Amino acid sequence: MERYRKHRRHRWQPCVCVTEKGFTLVEVLIAMVVLSIGFFGAASMHISAIDANTSANRMTEAAHLAQSRLEALMALEYTQDFTDPDLIGDDEISEDAEPFNDVNSNGLWDFGESYVDSNHNSVWDAAHVDSSPPPGYVITWSVIDNRPVPFAKYIRMHVTGHTKQRTFLFTCIKSRG
């Protein structure tokens, strides 16, 4: 059905009316750009979530390794007659430890204190080093005798993970049995 409208000169002419509705090419392109920005943002968030999950997994693994090693140390024999070699105080075997600058004079290496990295592994090595840690980890510990009370061993464990940027510190006290 044709529609007519009045022209300027008072003549009636057929009107070309657009009755079909749809999107123009420009509208479709704009919608695609907006959607692609949203998808890139979602993909970026997904990658960040994967990185955070991996980091959390490594921290959990390091904590588990330290806890397992501390439990093994706590199970070692420490009596008046015998002390397991892994529980001998650092002052008795200090030649095995890398020297460090004890800023706060507590006798222990604290994260941030400078040290001599003699084996170039970017980790401070205590007098006690786990000889077979899982791949990617370095586990070391210090033992201080008679601290905080006589006949006790103060054990301070350092676990350094894959990136060597973060060292986890765990402590416990073992009394003589």
Q: Rounded to whole angstroms, how far apart are CA atoms 151 and 148?
A: 9
Average pLDDT of the chain, as a whole number: 79
DSSP reduced 3-state for 19: coil
Q: Per-10-residue mean pLDDT for the chain, 177 residues long?
A: 54 61 87 95 95 89 90 89 83 63 66 67 71 85 86 88 76 87
pTM for this prediction:
0.63
Q: What is the DSSP string of 73-130?
A: HHTS-B-SS-B-GGGS-GGGSGGGSPPB--TT-SSS--TTS-B--TT-SSS---SEE-
- Whether 174 and 78 have beta carbons less than 8 Å apart is answered as yes
Query: For the purposes of burial, counting CB atoms within 10 Å of the CB of 165, is it exposed (0-12), middle (13-18) or buried (19 or more)?
Result: exposed
